[in-house]
Amino acid sequence: MRAIDYFDKGAEANLTRTAIVAADGSWSYREMRAATENIARAMWASGLRDQQPAGIYSHNDARVLLCMLGIMRAGAVWVPINYRNALDANVAYMNYVEMAWLFYHSQFRDSVREIKQRVPSLRGVICLDRHDDEHPSLQTFMERGASAAVPDWGDAYGNPDRLAGLVPTGGTTGPAKGVRVTNLALGTMTEMASHYWRGDVEHPVCLNTAPLSHAAGVLAFVMCSLGATNVIMPRFDALEVLRNIERHRVTHLYLPPTALYNLLAHPEVRRFDYSSLRGFLLAGSPVAPDKLKNAVEVFGPCMCQSYGQTEAPMILTFLDSKTIAAAAAGVHSERLASCGKPTLAVRLAIMDDAGRILPAGERGEIVARGSLICGGYYKMPEATAETRTRGWHHTGDVGHLDDEGYVYIVDRKKDMIISGGFNVYCAEVEAAVMALPEVHECAVIGIPHDNWGEAVKAFVVLRPGVSLSEAAVISHCKRKLGGVKTPKSVEFCDEIPKTAAGKIDRKKMRARYWENAERQVH
């Protein structure tokens, strides 16, 4: 189906149900659908051409979802813009995809003034929350389409290869690439998420606090297809998340692991009622097993985890709440380090550098094939071909399978440290350090070493009010990992650098150690 068809099915079955709850109001599904229709009509009345890229530049706001769906309904191409990116990076991406439309919040009006000067392809600029000089408010813009019609651009097959989005990659290894998210890939993700994540909840309530410009927006789209109530928070605030779970009787919640760690570290984390939770989804990076076990103790048997990437959205694998709860209780406790089993829509395998599919237990690159895989990179045929060698999509992640088919991610290939000829995977070392109760967060990189080529270095953020020595961290890791994988140095810091997508920015962390080196590995 077309992406918008998933929303329409959910809306038609739940017209009177509350679709969105936000600080400035709420919308029923009937009102939400009408708003998306008005946005689509207004875009065509204002000169939209089929499949033009249309971006959204805003912090979390209910109108972000309205515009996202309106863009899809109009037959334009949704382009999420991360407002936490540097302006130059966003301008570069907009020029790369030839952005034609931009919906923005007035909070970013100064940035938009500069964007207009530097992105010549822009033809329509709309302010979400108010009239802003020559830019109409979203409400005024929607009124322009009162007498317009949206062409019926659908076909009997659901336009599987047509673009629904041009979604930027994280850009941690260079300029962001635009992933061609097709209707087929987005539809597959929606159906897989509905199957694995919904559970037995009749009327889901989803708390959206992670950025809607990233994975949270896609999951809010999924929840709309289920007729869920989406509660939207303007930003992540640990205490407000805990309060809102109880206040709104939240059943579903998505967060990256770093945000979970903030919840667990909050002094009031055990004060609230979390009994309504059925699907607390973790995604975006591997989760420290000890933190995941702690999360089950605090939030109950609702924790689940998925693995995906922009090129294969969200749900290549899924680790369900029953498996996690059992592992936390000691039944196959090793599965706390897994990201689950491959979902129904994909084949997944482990491949070595020679292209051989490896047996269970052997480490190699995770590769996949299936309808979840997106349509490659926009205007980058060589980069697309590089990720599609040997008939598989190459994730760039290193992992292994166990005998039961569970997938374990050990690192990104580029984050692997080679020390004294041995492979050391950052995620494995980080998980060991995170097992210390004093540790709030940890990141590991390789730094140059004259004898070993690279030495393992750990950066550690402690929980408030506790202390820990470098010697204690090293001693602990030697017991858990042995000498080769143990950090040779530990640096305590106030925070770990993150990318705009909220992931550990190893590129930035490595820069001061490798900037004068002729190559980035020894």
Angle, CA 449 vertex, CA 448 and CA 455 arms, to 5°: 80
Residue 342: name the closest of 404, 280, 417, 414 by CA.
404
Number of H helices, E strands in the chain: 16, 24
CA distances from 76 to 2, 188, 448, 522 (A): 12, 20, 48, 47
End-to-end CA distance of the chain: 49
At residue 172, does pLDDT exceed 50? no
Q: What is the pLDDT of residues 43-55, one digit of tens each?
A: 999 999 999 999 9
pLDDT, residue 213, reads: 82
Provide, rounded to the nearest whole percent, the portion of the chain with pLDDT above 70.
98
Contacts of 277 (CB under 8 A, 6+ apart): 245, 250, 251, 252, 253, 299, 300, 302
At residue 521, does pLDDT exceed 90? no
- pTM, entire model: 0.88
- How many Cα neighbours within 13 Å face the side chain of 15? 3
Q: Which residue has the tokens 């490595």?
A: 510
pLDDT bucket at 437, cuts 50 / 70 / 90: very high
The dihedrals phi and psi of 161, each to the nearest 5 degrees, come to -95, 0
Residue 82: name the closest of 55, 107, 54 by CA.
55
Cα–Cα distance measured from residue 204 to residue 250, given in angstroms and rounded to the nearest whole number: 8
Query: Which of 8-12, 373-377, 394-398, 418-422 is the least confident region?
Result: 418-422
Q: Contact, 303 vs 318, CB < 8 A? A: no
Q: Average pLDDT for residues 397-418, to the nearest whole number?
A: 89
Q: Contact, 372 vs 188, CB < 8 A? A: yes
Q: Which residue has the tokens 């506790």?
A: 466
pLDDT bucket at 288, cuts 50 / 70 / 90: confident
Q: What is the pLDDT of residues 88-125, one digit of tens each?
A: 889 999 999 999 999 999 999 999 999 999 999 999 99
pLDDT, residue 325, reads: 98
At residue 82, does pLDDT exceed 80? yes
Q: Contact, 225 vs 72, CB < 8 A? A: no
Domains of the chain: 26-146+160-182 (3.40.50.980), 345-415 (2.30.38.10), 417-514 (3.30.300.30)
Beta partners for residue 182, in sequence order: 163
DSSP state, 103?
Answer: E
Query: Which of 42-46, 353-357, 408-412, 413-417 is the least confident region?
Result: 413-417
Token pair belonging to 322: 């029953």
Q: How many CB atoms lie within 10 A of CB 213?
A: 26
3-state secondary structure 48-78: CCCCCEEEEECCCCHHHHHHHHHHHHHCCEE
pLDDT, residue 502, reads: 81
Q: Average pLDDT for residues 156-165, to the nearest whole number?
A: 96
Beta partners for residue 417, in sequence order: 424
Amino acid of residue 441: E
At residue 516, does pLDDT exceed 90? no
Beta-sheet pairing, 252-255 with 279-282: parallel
Q: Which residue has the tokens 């592992």?
A: 327
pLDDT, residue 423, reads: 79
pLDDT bucket at 520, cuts 50 / 70 / 90: low
Q: Contact, 340 vs 306, CB < 8 A? A: yes
Residue 116: name the closest of 96, 141, 135, 89 by CA.
135
pLDDT bucket at 174, cuts 50 / 70 / 90: low
Q: In the predicted model, what is the mean pLDDT of the chain?
A: 93
Q: Which helix (H) or strand (E) holds 447?
A: strand 439-449
Contacts of 26 (CB under 8 A, 6+ apart): 18, 20
At residue 244, does pLDDT exceed 60? yes
pLDDT bucket at 317, cuts 50 / 70 / 90: very high
pLDDT, residue 84, reads: 82
Q: Which residue has the tokens 């992406």?
A: 3
Q: Average pLDDT for residues 6-12, to the nearest whole number?
A: 97
As a dihedral over the C-alpha atoms of residue 403, residue 406, residue 407, residue 410, rounded to 10 degrees, the angle is: -70
Helix 62-74 and helix 29-45: axis angle, to 10°?
Answer: 50
Beta-sheet pairing, 101-104 with 124-127: parallel
Residue 28: name the closest of 10, 11, 38, 16 by CA.
16
Q: Average pLDDT for residues 274-297, to the nearest whole number?
A: 94
Residue 470: name the closest of 485, 457, 445, 489 by CA.
489
Q: Which helix (H) or strand (E) holds 383?
A: helix 381-386
Cα–Cα distance measured from residue 394 to residue 413, given in angstroms and rounded to the nearest whole number: 11
Cα–Cα distance measured from residue 326 to residue 346, given in angstroms and rounded to the nearest whole number: 26
Q: What is the pLDDT of residues 123-141, one digit of tens each?
A: 999 999 999 999 999 999 9
pLDDT, residue 514, reads: 84
Q: Average pLDDT for residues 61-88, to the nearest whole number?
A: 93
Provide, rounded to the nearest whole percent, the portion of the chain with pLDDT above 90.
80
pLDDT, residue 517, reads: 65
pLDDT bucket at 173, cuts 50 / 70 / 90: very low
Beta partners for residue 399, in sequence order: 364, 409
407 alpha-carbon distance from chain centroid? 19
